[in-house]
Amino acid sequence: MFIKYMGFCCSKQTSSSQRQYPTVIEELCHQFSLSDIRKSTNDFNEKQIIGSDDLCIVYKGSFQYNGVTECIVAVKRMKGNTEEKLRQFKNEIEMLCQLRHPNLITLLGFCNDKDEKIIVYEYMANGTLHHHLYHSDAKKVPLTWKQRLKICIGAARGLHYLHTGAKRIIFHRDITPYKILLDSNMVAKLVDFRISLKGPHYASKPKPKTISKDGFIGTYGYVAPEISENNALTDKCDIYSFGVVLLEVVCKDKLKIVENRQRQPVEENIDPSLKGKIAAECWEVFMDITERCLKFDPNERPAMGEVEVQLELALSLQEKADIRNTCEDYTLLSLTTLN
C-alpha cells in the first residue's frame, strides 16, 4: 500500500515477493536526511522546543510541500544512544508504520544518522491532555465536561483499535494523559509506542495467553497491579491504565483517589470547574465504567469496545440533559416575561 501525508511517503510499495511486514524500518517508512531535519527545526533551535523529558526533546518543525505549502510537524529527537533506546526507537517506527487510525498519531518518517535518532510526526496543535488538566494559566479556560468526554471517547477508540483492529493485539503499555495528544480540533490521538508489544492473534481461541515480560515498565500510578506483582501482561493492563485516566479527567489528585476511592467518594474530589455541570444519569454511567476498568481482578475489567460504547452513552445522556435544561430555562424565562 502506498500512503502519503503532505507529500511524505509513510509506507513504501513492495513487490509480491517481499514480506508484507518487513522488520527493517528502512523498508517501511520515509527516511529524512539529517540536513532536512536541521533545516526544518532551524538547526534544533531552542525556541522550537514544544516538549521534553528524560528520553527526548520534541521540536516544532516545518517542511515545504511542492515549494508552496508549509507542512508543520513534530520532530522527536532521542537523547543518548544506548542499546535499549535504539530498540525502542525501532519498535515505535515499526509499530506506527503498520497502524492506521484517526485516533493514533500519524508517523511521517524518521532519521537515523550515526548518533542521531529522530522520529517525525504530524503536529498536534493543542498539546497533551495532561497540560489541559493541570495548566497553571489562570486565563486559560478549563476543558468543559463534554470536551473531556469526547477526548476520552477518542482515546478509547484508538485503544480499541490497538486491541482488536490488527492481526495481533497491540499492548500500548503506558496510557497516561501525557500520551494523549489533541489536534487543532481537539481530537484525541494516542502517542508513544516505544514500549508497546504485539500479543497473540486477536481471533485466537482459547483466549489470548498472558504474556510475561521481565522488569517494571510504565508510569507509576497507571500500571495495573498484576504487572507489579507478577509481570503478567494482557490487554486488561491497558484498560486499568485507561481507568486511571478516566478518573483523572474528573479529579485532580488521581493517585489519592485511586488508592482511597472506597473510603473517599470521588464526588468529594471532583474538579471544581465541573461541579454542577454533570448530569446525574451521565455521571452514573461514567463512574460505573471507570470503576469497572479499575477492578483489581483483570478478568472483571470490561473489554475496550464496551468502554468505548459506555462513554458514548454517557455523552449522549449529557447532551440530552443539556437540551432538556435549556428548554426548561427558556420556558421559565418566557413565563417570567409574561408575568
- End-to-end CA separation in angstroms for the chain: 69
Residue of 62, 30, 66, 60 lying closest to 46 (CA atoms) = 60
Flag whether pLDDT at 126 surpasses 60: yes
Q: Can you read off the three cell numbers belonging to residue 90? A: 525501532
Q: Which amino acid is at 55?
A: L
pLDDT at 17: 35
Q: Hey, which residues are catalytic here?
A: 174
Flag whether pLDDT at 96 surpasses 70: yes
- Class of domain 129-324 (CATH, top level): mainly alpha
pLDDT at 199: 87
Q: What is the mean pLDDT of residues 148-152?
A: 98
Query: Chain-centre distance of CA 40, in angstroms?
Result: 26
Q: Whole-model pTM?
A: 0.87
Flag whether pLDDT at 309 surpasses 90: yes
Write the DSSP assignment of 155-184 as a string of letters: HHHHHHHHHHSSSEEEE----SGGGEEE-T
pLDDT at 48: 96
Residue of 121, 122, 118, 191 lying closest to 154 (CA atoms) = 191
Mean of pLDDT over the chain: 85
Q: What is the mean pLDDT of residues 225-237?
A: 87
- Class of domain 3-122 (CATH, top level): alpha beta
Write the DSSP assignment of 27-79 as a string of letters: GTS-B--HHHHHHHTTTT-GGGEEEE-SSEEEEEEEEEETTTEEEEEEEEEEP
CB 5 within 8 A of CB 122: yes
Radius of gyration of the chain (CA): 22
Domain residue spans in the chain?
Answer: 3-122, 129-324
Give the span between the Cα atoms of 275 and 269, in whole angstroms.
Answer: 10
